[in-house]
């Protein structure tokens, strides 16, 4: 889902902008290093491909069709860093040209759909591409990528104070799961079709990392995405956790300082607490994703 402007509270979008900007910068540099300059047109054209691919309908149920979202497909063809850059470019075009998604919340959308989603979608492939589980990994990647981005978006909305009755939330989660399954099936079918045309286009990861570590990594990504959701539904939980860990004393001042002027404007402290808790949760997600990535990279280089 592309979050429009006006939905997220300043603390949430500001944090995510702050997270996404350097992340995209790093990824762009990495993508360029991985792929040489020749790939700049390639990345652009593949972005256009993902856009255009939405016109190709996949029949999935009686009277319903689905289409490719693309993060996982891009990751297994271009590599995860390049895929994240392409997804970022797509989101930028959608926001600026097609008014799909907001401008100040672009960082949030990029984080959900270009960074976390692509990483989650690539992890299973990264780990099981060389095994008999390859197809399952691609499928799982598709499912995970959609679930991750949707759950993150939902969590950010909740943290921003958009209320969501429990029943509605269950329905949304069910829908996310269905879209995830569709994306998994479509991605797998697409990868197979592409491979039949020219197997070179599907990049195999140089070598697979440890399976156990991989399982841990996937669990981590899923848990943080799901965890954020739960945490944001009950922000007091995470807040008290922060307190228990004895973090409050150190974190509170710098978390509160930039928000001080909102308080002046009569915003109740419950909102502030929620926002801060959410902010903290999101930083946790980021750190977790980052560390997982680092860990896997280290594993690979050994």
Footprint of other proteins on 248-277 (CB under 8 A): 262, 265-267
The whole-angstrom separation of Cα 251 and Cα 256 is 8
Ramachandran sector of residue 67 (left: φ over 0; alpha: ψ -120 to 50; beta: rest): beta
Distance from chain centroid for Cα 139: 17
In this chain, which of 18, 131, 135, 162 binds other proteins, going by CB under 8 A? 162
In this chain, which of 15, 20, 88, 156 binds other proteins, going by CB under 8 A? 88
Name the segment binding other proteins (CB under 8 A); options: 58-66, 204-212, 237-245, 294-302.
58-66
In this chain, which of 193, 249, 260, 302 binds other proteins, going by CB under 8 A? 193
Our finding on whether 69 is near other proteins (CB under 8 A) is no
Name the segment binding other proteins (CB under 8 A); options: 24-32, 127-135, 173-181, 239-247.
24-32
Q: What torsion, rounded to 10 degrees, do the Cα atoms 56, 58, 63, 69 define?
A: -80
Name the segment binding other proteins (CB under 8 A); options: 128-136, 194-202, 205-213, 225-233.
194-202
Contacts (CB under 8 A) with other proteins, residues 196-225: 196-198, 200-201
Name the segment binding other proteins (CB under 8 A); options: 4-12, 133-141, 211-219, 280-288.
4-12
Ramachandran sector of residue 2 (left: φ over 0; alpha: ψ -120 to 50; beta: rest): beta
Contact between 89 and 43 (Cβ < 8 Å) = yes
Our finding on whether 86 is near other proteins (CB under 8 A) is yes
Our finding on whether 48 is near other proteins (CB under 8 A) is yes
- State the number of binding residues for other proteins (CB under 8 A): 76
The whole-angstrom separation of Cα 146 and Cα 181 is 9
Pairing status of strand 64-66 against strand 58-61 = antiparallel
As beta bridge partners, residue 101 has: none
CB of 93 to other proteins, least distance (A): 6
Cα distances from 203 to residues 49, 125, 168, 260, in angstroms, run 18, 10, 40, 49
Our finding on whether 53 is near other proteins (CB under 8 A) is yes
Our finding on whether 63 is near other proteins (CB under 8 A) is no
């Amino acid at each position: 889902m592309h979050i429009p402007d006006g939905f997220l509270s300043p603390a949430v979008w500001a944090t995510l902008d702050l997270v996404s900007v350097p992340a995209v910068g790093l990824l762009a540099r990495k993508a360029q290093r991985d792929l040489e300059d020749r790939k700049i047109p390639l990345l652009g054209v593949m972005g256009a491909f993902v856009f255009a691919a939405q016109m190709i309908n996949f029949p999935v149920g009686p009277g319903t069709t689905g289409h490719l979202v693309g993060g996982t497909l891009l990751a297994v063809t271009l590599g995860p860093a390049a895929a994240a850059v392409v997804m970022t470019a797509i989101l930028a075009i959608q926001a600026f040209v097609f008014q799909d998604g907001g401008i100040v919340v672009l960082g949030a959308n990029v984080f959900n759909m270009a960074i976390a989603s692509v990483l989650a979608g690539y992890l299973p492939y990264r780990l099981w591409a060389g095994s008999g589980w390859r197809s399952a990994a691609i499928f799982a990647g598709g499912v995970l990528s959609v679930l991750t981005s949707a759950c993150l978006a939902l969590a950010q909305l909740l943290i921003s104070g958009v209320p969501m009755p429990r029943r509605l939330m269950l329905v949304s989660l069910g829908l996310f799961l269905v879209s995830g399954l569709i994306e998994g099936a479509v991605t797998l079918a697409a990868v197979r079709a592409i491979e039949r045309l020219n197997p070179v286009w599907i990049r195999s990861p140089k070598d697979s990392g440890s399976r156990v570590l991989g399982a841990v990594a996937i669990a981590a990504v899923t848990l943080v995405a799901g965890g954020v959701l739960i945490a944001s539904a009950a922000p007091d939980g995470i807040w008290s956790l922060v307190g228990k860990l004895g973090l409050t004393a150190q974190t509170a001042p710098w978390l509160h300082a930039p928000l001080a002027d909102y308080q002046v404007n009569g915003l109740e402290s419950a909102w502030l607490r929620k926002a801060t808790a959410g902010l903290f949760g999101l930083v946790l997600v980021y750190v977790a994703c980052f560390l997982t990535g680092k860990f896997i990279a280290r594993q690979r280089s050994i």
